[in-house]
Amino acid sequence: MYKNYKYVLEKYSGSKSRFNCPNCKRKEFTRYKNIETNEYLPYEYGICNRMIKCGYKKYPSQKINSNLEEVNHNHLEIIEYLDKKILYKFENSNLKNPLFIFLKLYFDEIKVQQIFELYQVKTEKYYENYLTVFPQLDQDFNLRALKKMRYNSQTGKRNKSFFQWYNPNKNNLKQCLFGLHILNEPIFLESKIVIVESEKTAILGMLYFENYLFLATGGMMNLTLERLEPLQGKEIILMPDLSPINAKKSAFDYWKNKAVRIAKEISCSISISTLLEEYSSDFQKENQYDLGDFIIENLINSKT
Protein backbone atom coordinates (compact mmCIF):
# COMPACT_ATOMS: atom_id res chain seq x y z
CA MET A 1 0.00 0.00 0.00
CA TYR A 2 3.00 2.31 0.35
CA LYS A 3 4.15 1.74 -3.20
CA ASN A 4 3.84 5.38 -4.17
CA TYR A 5 5.80 6.74 -1.25
CA LYS A 6 9.51 6.98 -0.93
CA TYR A 7 9.59 7.34 2.83
CA VAL A 8 7.44 5.63 5.37
CA LEU A 9 7.25 5.50 9.12
CA GLU A 10 8.83 2.30 10.27
CA LYS A 11 6.31 -0.40 10.95
CA TYR A 12 6.19 -1.58 14.52
CA SER A 13 8.19 -4.77 15.01
CA GLY A 14 8.97 -4.86 18.68
CA SER A 15 10.96 -2.47 20.83
CA LYS A 16 13.89 -2.42 18.40
CA SER A 17 11.71 -0.43 16.02
CA ARG A 18 11.15 2.36 18.52
CA PHE A 19 13.69 4.97 19.60
CA ASN A 20 14.20 7.63 22.20
CA CYS A 21 12.28 10.72 21.24
CA PRO A 22 14.52 13.74 20.53
CA ASN A 23 12.15 15.85 22.61
CA CYS A 24 10.76 13.87 25.55
CA LYS A 25 13.50 11.18 25.49
CA ARG A 26 10.96 8.38 25.93
CA LYS A 27 11.36 5.28 23.81
CA GLU A 28 8.27 6.16 21.82
CA PHE A 29 9.79 7.56 18.68
CA THR A 30 9.00 6.15 15.26
CA ARG A 31 11.53 6.92 12.54
CA TYR A 32 11.21 7.30 8.79
CA LYS A 33 12.76 4.81 6.43
CA ASN A 34 13.53 4.98 2.77
CA ILE A 35 11.45 2.22 1.28
CA GLU A 36 13.86 1.54 -1.56
CA THR A 37 17.02 1.21 0.48
CA ASN A 38 15.33 0.36 3.78
CA GLU A 39 17.65 2.88 5.42
CA TYR A 40 16.65 5.24 8.16
CA LEU A 41 16.42 8.92 7.44
CA PRO A 42 18.42 11.14 9.80
CA TYR A 43 17.37 10.73 13.43
CA GLU A 44 15.38 13.93 13.59
CA TYR A 45 12.74 12.69 11.11
CA GLY A 46 9.97 10.87 12.83
CA ILE A 47 7.01 11.09 15.13
CA CYS A 48 6.71 10.69 18.87
CA ASN A 49 3.87 8.32 19.75
CA ARG A 50 3.01 10.47 22.73
CA MET A 51 1.09 12.79 20.50
CA ILE A 52 -0.79 14.55 23.24
CA LYS A 53 1.89 14.73 25.91
CA CYS A 54 4.93 15.39 23.75
CA GLY A 55 3.84 16.04 20.17
CA TYR A 56 7.27 15.96 18.53
CA LYS A 57 7.10 15.36 14.78
CA LYS A 58 9.28 16.12 11.84
CA TYR A 59 8.49 15.01 8.32
CA PRO A 60 10.94 14.72 5.46
CA SER A 61 10.43 17.77 3.24
CA GLN A 62 7.71 18.02 0.66
CA LYS A 63 10.33 18.27 -2.06
CA ILE A 64 11.61 14.82 -1.25
CA ASN A 65 8.24 13.32 -1.77
CA SER A 66 5.10 15.15 -2.70
CA ASN A 67 2.91 12.29 -1.57
CA LEU A 68 4.25 12.28 1.92
CA GLU A 69 1.51 14.35 3.45
CA GLU A 70 -0.85 11.56 2.68
CA VAL A 71 1.31 9.06 4.51
CA ASN A 72 1.58 11.34 7.48
CA HIS A 73 -2.10 11.89 7.52
CA ASN A 74 -2.68 8.18 8.01
CA HIS A 75 -0.30 8.01 10.90
CA LEU A 76 -1.23 11.20 12.62
CA GLU A 77 -4.78 10.51 13.49
CA ILE A 78 -5.55 12.57 16.54
CA ILE A 79 -7.55 10.75 19.17
CA GLU A 80 -10.14 12.72 21.05
CA TYR A 81 -10.89 12.02 24.69
CA LEU A 82 -13.91 12.50 26.88
CA ASP A 83 -13.85 14.97 29.73
CA LYS A 84 -13.16 12.91 32.84
CA LYS A 85 -15.38 15.19 34.91
CA ILE A 86 -18.27 13.10 33.62
CA LEU A 87 -17.10 10.30 35.91
CA TYR A 88 -18.07 12.38 38.91
CA LYS A 89 -21.57 13.05 37.67
CA PHE A 90 -22.96 9.60 38.22
CA GLU A 91 -24.55 8.25 41.40
CA ASN A 92 -22.18 8.56 44.32
CA SER A 93 -22.64 4.95 45.31
CA ASN A 94 -23.12 1.69 43.44
CA LEU A 95 -25.59 0.28 45.94
CA LYS A 96 -28.49 0.54 43.48
CA ASN A 97 -26.52 -0.75 40.52
CA PRO A 98 -28.28 -3.98 39.40
CA LEU A 99 -25.00 -5.67 38.51
CA PHE A 100 -23.58 -4.72 41.88
CA ILE A 101 -26.69 -6.09 43.62
CA PHE A 102 -26.36 -9.33 41.69
CA LEU A 103 -22.66 -9.79 42.39
CA LYS A 104 -23.25 -9.13 46.08
CA LEU A 105 -25.34 -12.32 46.17
CA TYR A 106 -22.19 -14.36 45.53
CA PHE A 107 -19.22 -12.27 46.58
CA ASP A 108 -18.25 -10.23 49.56
CA GLU A 109 -19.73 -6.75 49.20
CA ILE A 110 -16.49 -4.99 50.04
CA LYS A 111 -14.64 -6.96 47.41
CA VAL A 112 -17.27 -6.15 44.78
CA GLN A 113 -17.01 -2.49 45.74
CA GLN A 114 -13.22 -2.64 45.39
CA ILE A 115 -13.41 -4.20 41.95
CA PHE A 116 -15.99 -1.63 40.81
CA GLU A 117 -13.65 1.10 41.99
CA LEU A 118 -10.66 -0.49 40.33
CA TYR A 119 -12.46 -0.54 36.98
CA GLN A 120 -14.23 2.78 37.75
CA VAL A 121 -17.62 1.23 37.05
CA LYS A 122 -20.41 3.74 37.69
CA THR A 123 -24.16 3.82 38.24
CA GLU A 124 -26.62 6.06 36.45
CA LYS A 125 -30.27 6.56 37.25
CA TYR A 126 -32.43 5.92 34.23
CA TYR A 127 -36.14 6.55 34.73
CA GLU A 128 -37.10 4.04 37.42
CA ASN A 129 -34.05 1.90 36.79
CA TYR A 130 -30.32 2.09 37.18
CA LEU A 131 -27.72 1.56 34.49
CA THR A 132 -24.24 0.12 34.79
CA VAL A 133 -21.67 2.42 33.21
CA PHE A 134 -18.39 0.96 31.96
CA PRO A 135 -15.70 3.54 31.24
CA GLN A 136 -12.81 2.81 28.91
CA LEU A 137 -9.75 4.45 30.43
CA ASP A 138 -6.50 3.92 28.57
CA GLN A 139 -2.99 3.34 29.91
CA ASP A 140 -2.51 7.09 30.33
CA PHE A 141 -5.86 7.43 32.14
CA ASN A 142 -7.49 9.16 29.20
CA LEU A 143 -11.20 8.51 29.03
CA ARG A 144 -11.90 6.93 25.64
CA ALA A 145 -15.52 5.88 25.89
CA LEU A 146 -18.44 5.22 28.22
CA LYS A 147 -20.75 2.31 27.64
CA LYS A 148 -24.06 1.98 29.44
CA MET A 149 -25.90 -1.29 29.95
CA ARG A 150 -28.84 -2.65 31.85
CA TYR A 151 -28.64 -5.77 33.99
CA ASN A 152 -31.15 -7.82 35.88
CA SER A 153 -30.26 -7.67 39.57
CA GLN A 154 -31.55 -11.22 40.22
CA THR A 155 -30.12 -13.12 37.26
CA GLY A 156 -27.17 -10.89 36.39
CA LYS A 157 -28.22 -11.12 32.77
CA ARG A 158 -27.96 -8.19 30.44
CA ASN A 159 -31.02 -6.70 28.82
CA LYS A 160 -29.85 -7.07 25.26
CA SER A 161 -32.33 -4.63 23.83
CA PHE A 162 -30.71 -1.81 25.77
CA PHE A 163 -27.33 -0.38 24.99
CA GLN A 164 -26.04 3.18 24.98
CA TRP A 165 -22.83 4.99 24.30
CA TYR A 166 -22.19 8.32 25.92
CA ASN A 167 -21.79 10.43 22.83
CA PRO A 168 -20.75 14.04 23.29
CA ASN A 169 -20.46 14.81 19.56
CA LYS A 170 -16.83 13.97 19.14
CA ASN A 171 -15.68 12.49 15.86
CA ASN A 172 -12.36 10.94 16.75
CA LEU A 173 -13.07 8.88 19.82
CA LYS A 174 -11.23 5.59 19.83
CA GLN A 175 -12.10 2.69 22.05
CA CYS A 176 -9.56 0.87 24.16
CA LEU A 177 -9.73 -2.33 26.18
CA PHE A 178 -11.92 -2.10 29.26
CA GLY A 179 -9.63 -2.09 32.31
CA LEU A 180 -6.52 -0.97 30.45
CA HIS A 181 -5.72 1.75 33.01
CA ILE A 182 -5.25 -0.96 35.66
CA LEU A 183 -1.96 -1.89 33.97
CA ASN A 184 -0.53 1.00 35.99
CA GLU A 185 -1.42 -0.55 39.35
CA PRO A 186 1.80 -1.81 40.92
CA ILE A 187 0.22 -5.08 42.04
CA PHE A 188 -0.73 -5.96 38.47
CA LEU A 189 2.55 -5.03 36.80
CA GLU A 190 3.64 -8.65 36.56
CA SER A 191 0.21 -10.21 36.16
CA LYS A 192 -0.77 -12.39 33.27
CA ILE A 193 -3.54 -10.79 31.31
CA VAL A 194 -6.75 -12.56 30.40
CA ILE A 195 -8.78 -10.96 27.63
CA VAL A 196 -12.48 -11.74 27.49
CA GLU A 197 -15.30 -10.25 25.45
CA SER A 198 -17.65 -8.77 28.01
CA GLU A 199 -17.04 -6.21 30.72
CA LYS A 200 -19.16 -8.16 33.17
CA THR A 201 -17.01 -11.24 32.61
CA ALA A 202 -13.84 -9.24 33.24
CA ILE A 203 -15.29 -8.19 36.59
CA LEU A 204 -16.40 -11.72 37.43
CA GLY A 205 -12.95 -13.01 36.50
CA MET A 206 -11.32 -10.53 38.84
CA LEU A 207 -13.68 -11.49 41.65
CA TYR A 208 -13.21 -15.21 41.16
CA PHE A 209 -9.56 -15.67 40.26
CA GLU A 210 -6.41 -14.32 41.76
CA ASN A 211 -3.17 -13.36 40.07
CA TYR A 212 -4.68 -12.38 36.75
CA LEU A 213 -5.69 -9.07 35.30
CA PHE A 214 -8.87 -9.33 33.25
CA LEU A 215 -9.46 -6.95 30.37
CA ALA A 216 -12.47 -6.90 28.02
CA THR A 217 -12.72 -6.07 24.34
CA GLY A 218 -16.45 -5.36 24.51
CA GLY A 219 -17.16 -7.70 21.60
CA MET A 220 -15.69 -10.44 19.46
CA MET A 221 -14.74 -8.14 16.60
CA ASN A 222 -12.91 -5.75 18.92
CA LEU A 223 -9.82 -7.88 19.27
CA THR A 224 -7.53 -5.73 17.17
CA LEU A 225 -3.85 -4.98 16.92
CA GLU A 226 -4.50 -1.38 17.81
CA ARG A 227 -6.26 -2.29 21.03
CA LEU A 228 -3.59 -4.78 22.06
CA GLU A 229 -0.61 -2.58 21.28
CA PRO A 230 -0.40 -1.20 24.84
CA LEU A 231 0.11 -4.78 26.09
CA GLN A 232 3.63 -5.06 24.72
CA GLY A 233 5.83 -7.36 26.73
CA LYS A 234 2.88 -8.94 28.53
CA GLU A 235 1.77 -12.52 28.75
CA ILE A 236 -1.74 -12.61 27.32
CA ILE A 237 -4.35 -15.35 27.44
CA LEU A 238 -7.41 -15.01 25.22
CA MET A 239 -10.73 -16.42 26.35
CA PRO A 240 -13.45 -15.85 23.79
CA ASP A 241 -17.11 -16.81 24.23
CA LEU A 242 -18.24 -20.23 23.08
CA SER A 243 -19.91 -20.54 19.69
CA PRO A 244 -22.66 -22.94 18.57
CA ILE A 245 -21.22 -26.13 17.07
CA ASN A 246 -22.63 -25.37 13.63
CA ALA A 247 -21.65 -21.72 13.61
CA LYS A 248 -20.08 -20.58 10.34
CA LYS A 249 -17.44 -18.69 12.21
CA SER A 250 -16.54 -19.45 15.81
CA ALA A 251 -15.24 -16.81 18.15
CA PHE A 252 -12.48 -19.23 19.09
CA ASP A 253 -11.19 -19.57 15.51
CA TYR A 254 -11.57 -15.87 14.90
CA TRP A 255 -9.51 -14.94 17.96
CA LYS A 256 -7.01 -17.68 17.29
CA ASN A 257 -6.27 -16.33 13.81
CA LYS A 258 -6.16 -12.80 15.14
CA ALA A 259 -3.71 -13.83 17.85
CA VAL A 260 -1.29 -15.22 15.28
CA ARG A 261 -1.35 -11.97 13.35
CA ILE A 262 -1.10 -9.76 16.42
CA ALA A 263 1.82 -11.76 17.80
CA LYS A 264 3.75 -10.95 14.63
CA GLU A 265 3.31 -7.25 15.19
CA ILE A 266 3.85 -6.70 18.88
CA SER A 267 6.30 -8.29 21.24
CA CYS A 268 4.15 -10.21 23.67
CA SER A 269 3.16 -13.78 24.30
CA ILE A 270 -0.41 -14.57 23.24
CA SER A 271 -2.12 -17.87 23.79
CA ILE A 272 -5.74 -18.87 23.56
CA SER A 273 -7.40 -20.87 26.29
CA THR A 274 -9.12 -24.09 25.24
CA LEU A 275 -10.64 -24.55 28.70
CA LEU A 276 -14.19 -23.55 27.79
CA GLU A 277 -14.10 -25.46 24.49
CA GLU A 278 -13.05 -28.64 26.25
CA TYR A 279 -15.30 -28.56 29.27
CA SER A 280 -18.54 -27.29 27.80
CA SER A 281 -21.70 -29.17 26.88
CA ASP A 282 -23.51 -28.75 23.58
CA PHE A 283 -26.13 -26.71 25.44
CA GLN A 284 -23.48 -24.35 26.75
CA LYS A 285 -21.96 -23.98 23.29
CA GLU A 286 -25.37 -23.41 21.73
CA ASN A 287 -26.02 -20.65 24.26
CA GLN A 288 -22.61 -19.10 23.74
CA TYR A 289 -21.51 -19.32 27.31
CA ASP A 290 -18.54 -17.31 28.38
CA LEU A 291 -16.23 -17.60 31.36
CA GLY A 292 -18.59 -15.41 33.39
CA ASP A 293 -21.49 -17.82 32.82
CA PHE A 294 -19.37 -20.71 34.05
CA ILE A 295 -18.35 -18.78 37.14
CA ILE A 296 -21.98 -17.96 37.93
CA GLU A 297 -23.13 -21.56 37.37
CA ASN A 298 -20.38 -22.75 39.60
CA LEU A 299 -21.34 -20.33 42.34
CA ILE A 300 -25.03 -21.26 42.10
CA ASN A 301 -24.21 -24.97 42.29
CA SER A 302 -21.95 -24.51 45.27
CA LYS A 303 -24.66 -22.55 47.07
CA THR A 304 -27.34 -25.21 46.73
Nearest-angstrom CA–CA distance, 15 and 11: 11
Strands 143-149 and 164-165: antiparallel
Q: Which is nearer to Zn ion, 54 or 195 (CB)?
A: 54
Rounded CA-CA distance 231/224 in Å is 12
Closest CA relative to residue 227, chosen from 144, 156, 117, 286:
144
Figure out which of the listed residues 6, 9, 19, 21 binds Zn ion, where binding follows CB under 5 A: 21
Min. distance of Cβ 234 from Zn ion in angstroms? 23
Alpha carbon distance 205, 298 (integer Å): 13
Shortest spacing between CB 112 and Zn ion, in angstroms? 40
* Residue 101 near residue 151, CB atoms below 8 Å: no
Nearer to Zn ion, 47 or 202 (CB): 47
51 versus 86: smaller Cβ distance to Zn ion: 51
Closer residue to Zn ion, CB minimum distance, 48 or 99: 48
Q: Which of 5, 17, 23, 256 binds Zn ion (CB under 5 A)?
A: 23
Per-residue binder mask for Zn ion (CB under 5 A), 37-76, x = binder: -----------x-x---x-x--------------------
For Zn ion, which is the closer residue by CB, 42 or 219? 42
Q: How far is the CB of 21 from Zn ion (least distance, A)?
A: 3
We find the least distance from the C-beta atom of residue 147 to Zn ion, in angstroms, to be 31
Q: How many CB atoms lie within 10 A of CB 133?
A: 22
Rank residues 21 and 133 by Cβ distance to Zn ion and give the closer one: 21
For the bound state, the minimum distance from the C-beta of residue 29 to Zn ion, rounded and expressed in Å, comes to: 6
Q: Which amino acid is at 112?
A: V
Round to whole Å and give the CA distance between 278 and 295.
Answer: 16
Query: What gap in Å lies between CA 207 and CA 168, rounded to an integer?
Result: 32
By CB under 5 A, residue 194 contacts Zn ion = no
Q: Which is nearer to Zn ion, 26 or 148 (CB)?
A: 26
CA distances from 222 to 11, 25, 118, 167, 207 (A): 21, 32, 22, 19, 23
**Main-chain phi, psi angles of 236, to 5 degrees:** -120, 135
Round to whole Å and give the CA distance between 122 and 132: 6
Residue 263 burial (10 A CB sphere; 0-12, 13-18, 19+): middle
# binding residues, Zn ion (CB under 5 A): 7
48 φ, ψ to 5°? -80, 135
Q: Which residues are at the interface with Zn ion (CB under 5 A)? A: 21, 23-24, 48, 50, 54, 56
